[in-house]
Homo-oligomer: A and B are copies of this chain.
Amino acid sequence: MPAKDGAVARRTQAERSSATSSRLLATAEEMFGRDGYAATSLAAVAAAAGMTKGAAYHHFPGKAGLFREVFVRRLRWAAAALERVAVHAPDPWSALREGCRTFLECCTDPGFRQIVLLDGPAVLGWDAVREIEYEHLLRVLRDGMRAAAAEGWIAGGDLDVRSQLVFGALCEAGMMLARSPDPEGVFPAVAGEAERLLGALVRG
């Protein structure tokens, strides 16, 4: 077992690997989110992260592969925000309302909008996007609806389909927010209509 060779701490392989991998991911998340997928070259991302294309291709299967990881990251980020809100809700119905509002706040982030809502479907294909979104967001929304339905808050029906339709409406709402010159100003109107749409499903 050799000792450290002087002041420079020698790093293990796993440390090096995960460090560069993380740097690359963070840089890619920033650039994909700011400039969009098509306008961001892989070499530029690697350079901004302090390495070359070769390193990027060593850690990820390609540009689309890197984007996919970034996409998943953003979804995890949103899912974490949802989680924090939902656990404090007093009842399933409030959890639904608060969750949807939180998702809209996530859409306020320009990077989230660009990566998840705009480029995601075109780059990864709708099926892949749908699968990842299901894993992190849609299932939560569906389960929330099921819980609300079980307690009689909302009407029954095909909740798999309905949760996805609501998700589509929320994405559109998120895009409206992001596009607006005054997101904070229109937030109440958009969030209000979104809640009305949700509230319209309440069992009368």
Contact = CB atoms under 8 A, between A and B. Distances in A.
Interface of A: 36-38, 117-119, 121-123, 125-127, 130, 155, 157-158, 161-162, 164-173, 175-176, 178-179, 189-190, 192-194, 196-197, 200-201, 204
Given A162-B193, A171-B168, A204 B204 contact: yes
A44 to B, nearest CB: 19
A200 B200 CA distance: 5
A175 B127 CA distance: 9
Counting chain B CB atoms within 10 Å of each CB, which of A165, A176, A193 scores highest? A165
A155 to B, nearest CB: 8
Contacts of A125: 118
17 contacts: A38-B122, A118-B122, A119-B122, A121-B122, A122-B123, A130-B175, A158-B189, A158-B192, A158-B193, A161-B190, A162-B193, A164-B172, A168-B170, A168-B173, A169-B172, A171-B172, A200-B201
A49 B179 CA distance: 37
A15 to B, nearest CB: 37
Nearest to A198: B200
Contacts of A178: 126
Contacts of A126: 117-118, 175, 178-179
B121 A118 contact: yes
Contacts of A197: 162, 165-166, 197, 200-201
